[in-house]
Structure 1
Amino acid sequence: MYGATFAAWRAEAAEPWHAYTHHPFVEGLGDGSLPRAAYLRYLVQDYLFLIHFSRAWALAVTKAGTVDEMRFAACTLDALLNEEIALHVATCAAEGLDEATLFTAEELPQNIAYTRYVLDAGHSGDFLDLLAALAPCVLGYGEIGLRLSAAKGKTPYADWIDTYAGEGNQQVCHEVGALLDAAVTRQLGDRPMESPRWPQLSHRFVTATRLEIGFWDMALPE
C-alpha cells in the first residue's frame, strides 16, 4: 500500500497492527458509537502528541543522510506546525476547547510513553530508527482512514475519517513510504531483510505500534 518496507514491517507486526487499526476506538469512529467524551479526551492528548511529533520531524532533519531527506523532513515539519496543528486547533475550538486549554492540559502517561519513545529512537539511533518509530502513526492513520471511508458508515466523526482518507493525506503516506524505502535501500542495500539491522528496525516498528494501541486505550472510558 505504502511501499515495500512498510508492507514487510506490517506483515511482521500482524497481530498488534490489527489490534491498532481495528481498535474499539477506531471502530467507534467508524460506526459513530464512540462516546463524545472519549473523542474530546483524544483530541486534547492528540494536540500534545502533535507538538512532540513535530519535534521528532525536526530531529529527522539532523538525522537525515541526504539533502532530499532533509528537505522532506523540513517540509513535513512545516506542514505539521503550520497546517495540521492549526486544523486540529480549529477542530477543538468547534468543540469548545481553545488552544490555551490544549497547551496547558496534563499529558497522560500513555502519551508520554509513546512520544518519548519516538524521540529517544531518533536521539539514540539514526534516521532509519526514527522513521521506524514514526511510521505506525503516519501510515496507520492513512490505512484506518481509507478503511473507514470505504465502509461509508453514517457517523458524527466523518470529518476525522475524511481527513485521513483524503487525497492530501494519502499523498503524504505514499511519499513517506517512498522515503522509507529509499532510506532503507541506501543504508541496508537491495536485500534489507538480510541485514543484521532489520530485526532491530522491525522491533522499533512493532513497539511504536503497541504504543499506538495504548494511545487509543487512553481515550476510552475505564
Structure 2
Amino acid sequence: MTFVDDCRERSKAVWNAYRHHPWIEALADGTLRPEQFVFFQTDDGAHVAEFNRTIALGIAKAPVGHPWAKAAANVLANMSTVDELGEKQSLIEDLGFPAVMGHDRWSTSPAREGYVNHLVRTGLEGTFPHIAASLYPCSLFTEVIGSRFRGVRIPGPEPYRRWADMYTRRTRTEMCAAHAAVMEDAADAGGRAGRESLFRLYKRSLEHQVRVFDAAWALDGMWPGGGRTRAAEAIGLRPRPAPTGPGAR
C-alpha cells in the first residue's frame, strides 16, 4: 500500500463523505437545483485565488527544477485566477443568474473561508510537501468529478456538463499526480512524525472540502448578524429574521 493509499484508508469516512456528498450525487441523478450549483461556483471565487496563491508559495519553497514546480507553474500559466473566474462567471450567467464572481475572502461563506485560511496558513508556515498534501484533496476533483462524469450524460442544465469537463484537463490531472508523488517521497524520507503531519494536513483539507459542499447543499451563506455572502446574494438568499423572545440576544 502506498502512503497516499494509506491516507485514504485512514480517512475513509471523510473521503466517502466527500466523494459521495449529496451535492455530487444530486448532480449525478439530475436533482441538483441551479441555486445549489450557483452557490458553490460563486462561493468558490476566493478559493480559486487562494489555491493559486498557495501553489505559488509552493513553487517558492520547492527545490529548483522539481517536477512538482513545473506542474504548478503550468497551472498558474494555463488556468490563471482571472481565466477560471471567467469560466465560472459564464456558467452562472448561462443559468440566468447575475455575474457576481469575486475573489475576496470577505464575501465567502464561513465554511469556505475556513478552507481558504487552512490552505494559505499551510502555504506560509508549512514545508513544500505540507503544501502538496494540503492541496491534494482539492486536486482530487479530477477523480471525484472529472473521472466520474467523463463521457457521462449529466441530467440538467448544460453548464453542469461544462463545469465537470473542467476537471478532465491534462494540466489538472498532472498537478494531482504531482501532489501525490511529493507526498510519497516525503513520507519515505520523513519518518513517522513526518508522515503523520502530512496525513493531518491531507485529512483536514478533506474535512474542509466536505464542509464547503455542505454549505452549497444547504445554501448556508449567512454570517452572524445577517451578513450575506456573495453566493447568498447571487441566489437572492435573504437574512433569517432575528430571534425574538426571552432567550434572544
Are 1:60 and 1:127, in contact at CA under 8 Å, matched by a contact in 2?
A: yes
Opposite residue 24 of structure 1, the aligned amino acid is: P
Kindly report which structure 2 residues correspond to 1:1-222, keeping only aligned pairs within 5 A, or say none. 4-68=2-66, 69-81=68-80, 83-95=83-95, 96-98=97-99, 101-103=100-102, 106-149=107-150, 152-156=153-157, 157-164=160-167, 166=168, 168-169=169-170, 172-182=172-182, 184-185=184-185, 187-189=186-188, 194-221=191-218
Q: Which has the larger radius of gyration?
A: 2
Opposite residue 56 of structure 1, the aligned amino acid is: T
Change (3 A) 1:153 1:73: closer
Structure 1, residues 120-173: CA drift from partner, whole Å, max 9, x if none? Answer: 112111011111110001114433332244664533322223332x3x25x632
Q: Kindly state the Cα deviation for residue 212 of structure 1 after the two structures are TM-superposed.
A: 0.4
- Greater shift, 63-72 or 3-12, is seen at 3-12
Are 2:135 and 2:179, in contact at CA under 8 Å, matched by a contact in 1?
A: no
Are 1:128 and 1:184, in contact at CA under 8 Å, matched by a contact in 2?
A: no
Change (3 A) 1:159 1:129: same
Q: Structure 2 regions of 5+ residues with no counterpart?
A: 220-249
TM-score by length of structure 2 reads 0.74
Partner Cα separation in structure 2 for residue 173 and residue 43 of structure 1: 20
Which structure ranks higher in relative contact order (CA pairs < 8 Å, sequence separation ≥ 6)? 1
Q: Quote the RMSD (CA, aligned, Å).
A: 2.6
Q: Kindly state the Cα deviation for residue 174 of structure 1 after the two structures are TM-superposed.
A: 4.3
Partner Cα separation in structure 2 for residue 15 and residue 183 of structure 1: 21
Opposite residue 212 of structure 1, the aligned amino acid is: Q
Opposite residue 128 of structure 1, the aligned amino acid is: P
Q: Structure 1 regions of 5+ residues with no counterpart?
A: none
Change (3 A) 1:28 1:141: farther
Are 1:4 and 1:181, in contact at CA under 8 Å, matched by a contact in 2?
A: no
- Greater shift, 23-32 or 134-143, is seen at 134-143
Q: Which residue in the other structure is 2:222 paired with?
A: none
> How many residues are matched?
212
Q: Kindly state the Cα deviation for residue 83 of structure 1 after the two structures are TM-superposed.
A: 4.0
TM-score by length of structure 1 reads 0.83
Structure with the bigger percentage of helix? 1
Are 2:37 and 2:216, in contact at CA under 8 Å, matched by a contact in 1?
A: yes
Q: Percent of pairs identical after alignment?
A: 21
